[in-house]
């Protein structure tokens, strides 16, 4: 899906217009509360060309969405969920969308809390994460002082072990990885 904006948004269409062969709808930013989304849907329905045909325009469907990463939004997704996801992605970026796609902890708020506990950052690869962690802990300096040259350290093997037991990674669209701790 081509994303034209960083803001998560949904395209909501009038079903009466759709059933009469018209494409009538509106793109609505999802990073606002559910009541605002609902108000924008009502405003879109009021301007539907299906009214001129004598139809009552009160049914809608989400026909498209963007800015949600790999998160799947259904045609009749609850606006509370859409708003919560939109806010979470606006606050935490695409890393949250990557986390949410595979790790749901009940409602969106619980998943946000889990994300905040688990997210370690974005890295070039798993080995880069290992190197960064060992560097931050002072382990690399300690090894060098002990006469161990870092060129002899198998960061790939360490990463393999860490990512079996303690961490997992989700790929980014740019070939990097988001790293998360298992909770």
Of 41-45, 82-86, 87-91, 100-104, where does mean pLDDT reach its minimum?
100-104
CA-to-CA distance for 125 and 18, rounded, in angstroms?
46
pLDDT at 2: 44
Helices (H), the chain: 15-19, 34-46, 79-92, 94-102, 108-118, 126-136, 139-145, 155-165
- What tens digit of pLDDT does each residue of 47-70 get? 999 999 999 999 999 999 999 999
Query: What does the mean pLDDT of the chain come to?
Result: 94
User: CA torsion angle for 70, 75, 78, 84 (degrees, to 10)?
Assistant: 30
Is 80 exceeded by the pLDDT of residue 5? Answer: no
pLDDT in tens, 127-144: 999 999 999 999 999 998
Q: Where are the domains of the chain?
A: 9-92, 93-183
pLDDT in tens, 94-124: 999 999 988 878 899 999 999 999 999 999 9
CA 132 to chain CA centroid, Å, is 25
What pLDDT was estimated at residue 24? Answer: 98
Q: Distance (Å, rounded) from C-alpha 77 to C-alpha 48?
A: 21
Reported confidence tier of residue 3, pLDDT bands at 50, 70, 90: very low
Q: What is the pLDDT of residue 1?
A: 39
Question: What pLDDT was estimated at residue 145?
Answer: 92
């Amino acid at each position: 899906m081509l994303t034209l904006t960083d803001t998560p948004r949904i395209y909501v269409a009038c079903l009466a217009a759709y059933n009469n062969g018209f494409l009538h709808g509106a793109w609505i930013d999802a990073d606002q509360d559910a009541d605002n989304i609902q108000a924008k849907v009502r405003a879109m329905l009021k301007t539907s060309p299906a009214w001129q045909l004598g139809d009552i325009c009160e049914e809608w469907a989400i026909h498209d969405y963007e800015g949600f990463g790999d998160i799947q939004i259904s045609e009749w997704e609850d606006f509370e969920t859409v708003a919560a996801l939109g806010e979470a992605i606006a606050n935490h970026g695409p890393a949250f969308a990557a986390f949410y796609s595979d790790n749901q902890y009940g409602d969106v708020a619980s998943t946000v809390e889990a994300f905040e506990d688990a997210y370690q950052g974005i890295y070039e690869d798993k080995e880069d994460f290992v190197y960064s962690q060992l560097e931050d802990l002072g382990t690399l300096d300690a090894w060098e002082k002990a006469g161990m040259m870092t060129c002899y350290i198998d960061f790939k093997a360490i990463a393999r072990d860490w990512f079996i037991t303690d961490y997992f990674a989700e790929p980014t669209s740019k070939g990097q990885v988001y790293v998360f701790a298992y909770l």
